[in-house]
């Protein structure tokens, strides 16, 4: 009995130390108790009908799962249509192809630029020719992907100084989707030109997905979710592995009292740890830090798939970053408005109490 109480105490302590887990648990308890209280108050004949509705809801959830599977097939189909454009993007970035003058024309959104006087245009063209004659002509678009990594907060947080020379060799990132007869997944492919760091030309990361309702909790289904990921082995050249570092340590002999210096390799922070994710085991629960790391990994994989790969040039120029920031500001403004509304309500209530106005019956304290 004491052991049971001690175990309960430990679980309680862990919950109190994790506010998010505690809040989630409280929400679940509130939801269950609310549902139970409603069902308990219903006549038996009405309960039967509510159970029938819940069975209909389960059937609806299974249809929703089929919908998402068809969406996955559409993504796979349209991925093949996008790919020729992405291949051309890669060729321009790497310098394998030089776009034509017609392909390089871009309509400016700024009217003042469009209305620039003809003489200024000519002057600008002369200056540009002079600059072109003097400057080195770079191949393709140098550091295209590295610039994106530096610009996007989610990626720059993973980026270390020793990763940057390697990512200068990154030529393309692709997304491929699992076939119709395979379990749902998508794969990120990072294509590198030959370099002095590793022999791989492609590094891959597979994200495995689940798109069917849980038998024990079908109403929790909200569409496909990433449930696991799998990296690849990087064949590093000798002395070039940036995911480990060598440290020297003094070791003292207990008996003789002599000391010696030993060297050992320890893990090192690097973007390339992305290709060696945490292993998920169905028999073993992850600790809180591992769960957070894995959830972040899933979020990054999803971001590559949904944002970075399809809109790479806009992240290179920063235009997509401005869109993301605008969206965040809009969300913040809405939150501020809600907060202001709450403050106004509090002020009104305070004013009512000061003037002695009676509270509505349902608001009176017992």
At residue 352 the predicted structure's pLDDT band, cuts being 50, 70 and 90, is: very low
* pLDDT computed for residue 5 by the predictor: 47
* pLDDT computed for residue 178 by the predictor: 92
| Across 195-204, average pLDDT | 97
| Residue, of 105 and 123, whose pLDDT is higher | 105
Least confident of 54-68, 80-94, 195-209, 351-365: 351-365
* pLDDT computed for residue 116 by the predictor: 55
The domains of the chain are located at: 43-122+140-215+222-236+270-324
* pLDDT computed for residue 52 by the predictor: 95
| Across 233-254, average pLDDT | 88
* pLDDT computed for residue 49 by the predictor: 92
Cβ 280 vs Cβ 294: under 8 Å: yes
| Across 228-234, average pLDDT | 95
* pLDDT computed for residue 337 by the predictor: 53
* pLDDT computed for residue 346 by the predictor: 55
The per-residue pLDDT of the chain, averaged, comes to: 80
At residue 314 the predicted structure's pLDDT band, cuts being 50, 70 and 90, is: very high
* pLDDT computed for residue 158 by the predictor: 95
* pLDDT computed for residue 347 by the predictor: 53
The answer on pLDDT for 150 being more than 90 is: yes
At residue 357 the predicted structure's pLDDT band, cuts being 50, 70 and 90, is: very low
| Residue, of 308 and 227, whose pLDDT is higher | 308
Distance, CA of 310 to CA of 124 (rounded, Å) = 34
pTM here?
A: 0.71
Cβ 174 vs Cβ 191: under 8 Å: yes
DSSP, residue by residue, 192-258: E-S-SSBS-SEEEEEEEEE-S--SS-GGG--S-EEEEEE-----BPTT--TTEEEEEEEEE-TTT--
Q: Please report, in angstroms and rounded to a whole number, the separation of the first and last CA atoms in the chain.
A: 40
Tokens 């629960």 belong to: 285
The answer on pLDDT for 29 being more than 90 is: no
Least confident of 72-86, 211-225, 301-315: 211-225
For residue 223, the tally of other CB atoms under 10 A from its CB is 11
pLDDT tens by residue, 35-86: 667 888 888 899 999 999 999 999 999 999 999 999 999 999 999 999 999 9
Helix (H) or strand (E) holding 269: none
| Residue, of 252 and 24, whose pLDDT is higher | 252
| Residue, of 83 and 120, whose pLDDT is higher | 83
Three-class secondary structure of residue 285 per DSSP: coil
Please give the class, per CATH, of domain 43-122+140-215+222-236+270-324: alpha beta
């Amino acid at each position: 009995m004491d052991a049971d109480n001690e175990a309960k105490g430990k679980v309680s302590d862990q919950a109190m130390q994790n506010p998010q887990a505690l809040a989630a648990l409280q929400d679940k308890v509130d939801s269950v108790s609310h549902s139970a209280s409603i069902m308990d108050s219903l006549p038996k004949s009405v309960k039967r009908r509510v159970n029938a509705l819940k069975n209909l809801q389960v059937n609806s959830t299974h249809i929703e799962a089929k919908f998402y599977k068809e969406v996955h097939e559409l993504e796979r189909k349209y991925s093949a249509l996008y790919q020729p454009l992405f291949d051309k993007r890669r060729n321009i970035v790497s310098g394998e192809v030089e776009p034509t003058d017609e392909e390089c024309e871009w309509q400016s959104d700024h009217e003042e630029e469009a209305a620039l006087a003809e003489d200024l245009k000519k002057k600008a063209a002369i200056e540009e020719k002079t600059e072109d004659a003097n400057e080195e002509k770079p191949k393709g678009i140098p550091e295209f992907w590295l610039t994106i990594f530096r610009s996007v907060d989610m990626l720059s947080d993973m980026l270390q100084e020793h990763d940057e020379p390697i990512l200068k060799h990154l030529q393309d990132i692709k997304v491929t989707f699992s076939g119709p007869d395979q379990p749902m997944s998508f794969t990120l492919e990072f294509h590198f030109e030959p370099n002095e760091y590793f022999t791989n030309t492609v590094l891959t990361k597979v994200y495995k997905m689940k798109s069917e309702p849980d038998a024990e909790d079908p109403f929790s289904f909200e569409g496909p979710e990433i449930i696991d990921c799998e990296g690849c082995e990087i064949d590093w050249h000798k002395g070039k592995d940036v995911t480990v570092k060598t440290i020297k340590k003094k070791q003292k002999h207990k008996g003789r009292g002599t000391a010696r210096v030993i060297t050992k390799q320890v893990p090192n922070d690097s973007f390339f740890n992305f290709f060696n994710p945490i292993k998920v085991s169905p028999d073993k629960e992850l600790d809180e830090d591992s769960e957070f790391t894995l959830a972040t990994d899933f979020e990054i994989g999803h971001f590559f798939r949904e944002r970075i790969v399809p809109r790479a040039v806009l992240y290179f120029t920063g235009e997509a970053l401005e869109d993301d920031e605008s969206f965040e500001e809009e969300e913040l403004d809405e939150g501020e408005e809600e907060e202001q509304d709450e403050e106004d309500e509090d002020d009104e209530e305070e004013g009512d109490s000061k003037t002695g106005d009676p509270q509505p019956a349902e608001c009176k304290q017992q």
